[in-house]
Amino acid sequence: MIKRLGFKDGFFRHEKLILLILMVYLINPLGYGNYVGFLLFPILISNKAIKANFDRNSLILLAFSCSYVSIIYQYKGAYTIGFSNMIESLLFPIMMYSLGKYYQKKYAKEYSFYKIVFTVLFLFSLIAFISIAIDIYHSGFNGNRNIPLINYDSKKSMAATLISSSVSLFLAFCGTLLIPARFFEKKYKWIFLIFSLIALIFTIRLGSRTGLGIFMLSFILNYLIFIRYISFRNKLLSSFILLIIFFFILKIPFFENSEIFSSYEWRVESEEFGNSTVGGRTQLWAKGVENLINYPMGAAPYFKELSYSHNFWLDIGRVAGVIPMFFMLIFCIRMLYVLLKTIRIRSVSLFKRSVLLSLNIAFLSVSSVEPILEGNFAFLSVYFFLSGVIYVIYKQSYKPPSKLQRIFPEEHSFN
């Protein structure tokens, strides 16, 4: 079975030590995975092929990491961020980005991309998947939203938002359901869709509105962007699914009496934490903007502004100010530009474009509403890794338009 899926090629035979370290870092046993992850640094800087991947994006990430860590170090007494977390913030953005570029360049075969993506996401989500499955087995769908993770103290529950961010990346693959896949891609498509369905069930158990938002947004955007390639039968199927999504948004009475959806009841109807305030986040975002004005050089926690902004970029500004926030915004905008260019490239397979789009929908959605900077840095590491992968795909596939294409652009429109 493993051989049929194509998992016995160079991607797993070589760089075994790097893969082992990456596995421990992403699984994060007992919360000490980042210490093992530090071992990647001497390996990467001694590898000429990886050092050769240093580019303008690497420079931006380096500027972010240095400015971020240097500022929070001055106020380290006011933070819950430990020394190991500061080292992680300093090293992992550029390391994971370079590692993503390295793997995509070295294993450039079409199917290697899917193995790289699946391996990283599987390792990152494994503990969350097992922990939620165990909780459902013992408590069903009516238990506490916060559940213990099996790699931590079993008596200590973790926040549902933290856990849901770990399953959100697989959840986004629901958008690939309607997208045509080439013969060798079909097996990966169904693997992704199976994990997406499992992630959806777990998201419902956690009562995560962010997760459901990712599910809906991924499906709708994939449909709208790639509609010209979707068969008539799949268009009918998508219309049916969109109707279900529409009725769920309206919250039809069936859900109100359902044990499965009970986790959403008070969260939807609450005046303070309901849908109208995005779970109370609008107030936190306003406070985050206020912190940028009052403390442009960061250190808001030093002045007792302790609440998370529940936004990746605003949280950078809250703890370290506008300088590292500016660098990270530049990096994310550049990666978004690369994504938008890549999904227009004809030589990149349609299914691969859909996968790239879906992953970025998940990353940007979670980053916009959750405190991942201090709550789930491994999530960011996965983002930086896949950013390196996407950038290489773009560089390998993009060809500047010819003079004829510039004169008659309508004949070479979006694909």
246-252, Cβ contacts within 8 angstroms, sequence gap of 24 or more: 248/212, 249/216
pLDDT of residue 250: 57
- Is residue 183 within 8 Å of residue 140, measured between CB atoms? no
Identify the bridge partners of residue 246 per DSSP, sorted by sequence position: none
Q: Pick the residue with more confidence: 405 or 58? A: 58
Is 80 exceeded by the pLDDT of residue 321? yes
Least confident of 94-108, 183-197, 293-307: 293-307
Round the average pLDDT of the chain to a whole number and report it: 81
Q: Say whether pLDDT at 19 is over 90.
A: no
Decide which of 355 and 276 is more confident: 355
- Measured CA to CA, the distance from residue 296 to residue 319 in angstroms comes to 10
Whole-Å CA distances, 72 to 58, 187, 318: 21, 46, 10
Distances 85 to 238, 324, 413 between C-alpha atoms, Å: 43, 16, 46
The end-to-end CA distance of the chain, in Å, is 35
Distance CA(402)–CA(310), nearest Å, equals 45
With contact defined as beta carbons under 8 Å apart, do 209 and 275 qualify? yes
Point out the least confidently predicted range of 26-35, 126-135, 379-388.
26-35
Read off the pLDDT of each residue in 251-264 and give the average, rounded to a whole number: 48
Strand partners, 158: 147
Domains of the chain, residue spans: 10-412
Confidence of residue 159 (pLDDT cuts 50, 70, 90): confident
pLDDT at residue 56 is higher than 90: yes
Q: Does the pLDDT value for residue 414 go beyond 60?
A: no
Look at residue 194 in the predicted model and tell me its pLDDT: 95
Query: Can you tell me whether residue 147 is helix, strand or coil?
Result: strand
Query: Do 177 and 193 touch, CB atoms closer than 8 A?
Result: yes
